[in-house]
Amino acid sequence: MVDTARTVVRTDGRHESVHELIASPDFKRLVARRWSVSGILLLLLFASYYGYVVILGSSPEVMARRIGEFTTLGIPIGVGVIVFAFILTAVYVAWANCRYDPEVERLKGRLKPR
């Protein structure tokens, strides 16, 4: 268990408790960013997949439209939903590796090594 009364030394020499770190604007920004990135990506995922499903349910003729001699529009769209889902996942990993992880390391650096 983390001792919330434990004090930590910051680079400016001022002592700060774990409670203060959690309450700091930097930490709050980290949390807010993490969930807004997830939220936006999740929204895009919902829009693409449920958009596809609702069109299938309400106006299937859109998906039955031919784009080649026989190929229907539904075939590339079905594949597209899968590919788009993978792209969203990749975007999240790229963001987390480039932005989230360095910020976590920075905040952890403000705590004394355990």
Tokens of 52: 């596809």
Interface with other proteins includes 31 (CB under 8 A)? yes
The one among 7, 75, 102, 112 contacting other proteins by CB under 8 A: 75
- b vs e for 82-98, b when ≥16 Cβ sit within 10 Å of the residue's Cβ? eebeeeeeeebeebeee
Best CA proximity match to 38, nearest among 97, 88, 84, 106: 88
List, in order, residues 6 or more apart from 103 with CB less than 8 Å away. 26, 30
The one among 29, 36, 38, 102 contacting other proteins by CB under 8 A: 38
Interaction site with other proteins (CB under 8 A)? 1-2, 4, 18-19, 21-22, 27, 30-31, 34, 38-39, 41-42, 45, 49-50, 52-54, 56-58, 60, 63-64, 66, 68-72, 74-75, 78-79, 81-83, 85-86, 88-90, 92-93, 96-97, 101, 104, 107-108, 111, 114
